[in-house]
Amino acid sequence: MTGESCQRSPARLQVLDKELAASDKLCDIEVMRIPLVLILTLFLVAGLAIPLAAQGKSEAASIRALELQWTESYKQRQVQILSSLLSEDFVITVEDGNTYSKMGYISHSAEPSVHVEVAEMSDLKVRMHGNTAVVTGAYHERGQSKGKPYEYHDRLTDVWMKVGGKWQVVASHYSVPVK
């Protein structure tokens, strides 16, 4: 290369300065694009997450209402409602460790020698996992069985599944807390 080709004319330097300035602005625009893309992505994700969270809360509220309906149906011996809430393969484990199927539980619930005076739930927590809900809480029942008074204070875990658009309880476990 000759010395002439390495030297830059003032006009050429001005052109290079303008190109450099334009490229810096281009870089600034590119730098600004990154946060803009991130912000838009966050809004999109938030826009999708909020309805899903609301749906989860709505589903949890439905499960809570079904739990209360189940408790009241049990107390009132409303076999038809109990049958509709329990899945065909429902299983319950009660305080003494015995397990009952749907038919066994419904037969027990309809037993005329048992009179439930109080059946109430508290401290209910519903955790949603897609088409499955896990409910934990406390249960208190008082009444008479074969003329003798009884009273339970239990902890419970119920598992609900949504099948064919309908929630049904598939498993339930009641245990007496150790004092």
Give 111-139 pLDDT, tens digit per residue. Answer: 999 999 999 999 999 999 999 999 999 99
Q: Is residue 16 part of a domain?
A: no
Domain span at residue 147 reads 48-175
* pTM for this predicted structure: 0.69
Q: Is the predicted pLDDT of residue 26 greater than 60, yes or no?
A: no
Over the stretch 4-13, which tens digit does the pLDDT of each residue have? Answer: 445 567 776 6
The answer as to whether 139 is a domain residue is yes
Within a domain: 134 = yes
Q: What is the pLDDT of residue 57?
A: 74
Confidence band of 52 (pLDDT split at 50, 70, 90): very low
Considering the domain boundaries, does residue 7 fall inside one? no
What is the structure's pLDDT at 42? 58
Assigned domain for 17 exists: no
Integer Cα distance of 18 and 26 in angstroms: 12
Query: Is the separation of the CB atoms in 176 and 152 below 8 Å?
Result: yes
Examine residue 2 and state whether it is found in any structural domain, yes or no.
no
Res 179 pLDDT > 90? no
Question: What CATH number is associated with residue 96?
Answer: 3.10.450.50
Total number of domains in the chain: 1
In a domain, 148, yes or no: yes
For residue 40, tell me if it sits in a domain. Answer: no
